[in-house]
Copies of this chain bind each other. A is one copy, B any other.
Amino acid sequence: MDLMDAIKGRRSIRAYASAVVPEEKIQTVLEALRWAPSWANKQCWEVIVVRDPKLKSELAGTLPRGNPAIAAMTDAPVVIVLCALRGVSGYYRGEVTTDKGDWYMFDAGIAMQNLCLAAHGLGLGTVVVGMFNHQKAAGILGVPEKVEVVAMTPLGVPARAGGSTKRKEMSAFVFHDGYKK
């Protein structure tokens, strides 16, 4: 798929078919994530590929009631859970280097986007889920203290196309040679 078509055509998919996702497609989306740039190339990410229906169901239970992604977490055959090592990204010799503190959220965003774009290129859907009980999810998956569970996404064949969401006009968020509003 063409790069710009992928960037502009990717949608958040909340309805999934039960169709199996071939292993080589899972490998391809993980390979895309692997090539993400990161703070000093530290690659602070870790990924848990969840196929076990019981675990997927438990993870779906960490979302707030009424969230439209709950069904997606169980309907899709795979859930990708993105984690990050703490104290790595944004650090130099054990010390935080910027006013942003730990930089893992930025690197995790990059990594997740690579995965979502690659999935779209393979005809697979994703929807980034950030609003859930991260502590409960960590407990379900046995994620240790030093690792943050950051975000999850179902991965599967879309049952229907995702709708386009409205974007701000460029003039609303782009400034030139200084912040001017």
Contacts and interface: CB of A to CB of B under 8 A. Distances in A.
A108 interface: yes
B7 A174 contact: no
A15 interface: no
Given A1-B2, A98-B130, A100-B150, A7 B49 contact: no
Interface of A: 1-4, 6-8, 10, 12, 27-28, 30-32, 34-37, 39, 41, 43, 45-52, 55, 64, 83, 90, 92, 97-100, 103, 105-114, 116-118, 121, 128, 130-132, 134-135, 141-144, 147-148, 150-151, 165-168, 170, 173-180
A48 B106 contact: no
Given A106-B130, A176-B48, A36 B117 contact: no
B100 A34 contact: no
22 contacts: A1-B3, A4-B118, A8-B31, A34-B173, A35-B167, A43-B173, A45-B173, A48-B175, A49-B175, A50-B176, A52-B177, A98-B132, A99-B135, A100-B134, A105-B109, A106-B109, A108-B109, A109-B109, A113-B113, A117-B117, A144-B179, A147-B179
A129 B37 CA distance: 11
A113 B117 CA distance: 11
A34 B171 CA distance: 11
A21 to B, nearest CB: 14
A178 B142 contact: yes
Given A97-B131, A106-B109, A109-B106, A117 B48 contact: no
A163 to B, nearest CB: 11
Contact of A177 (B43, B50, B134): B50
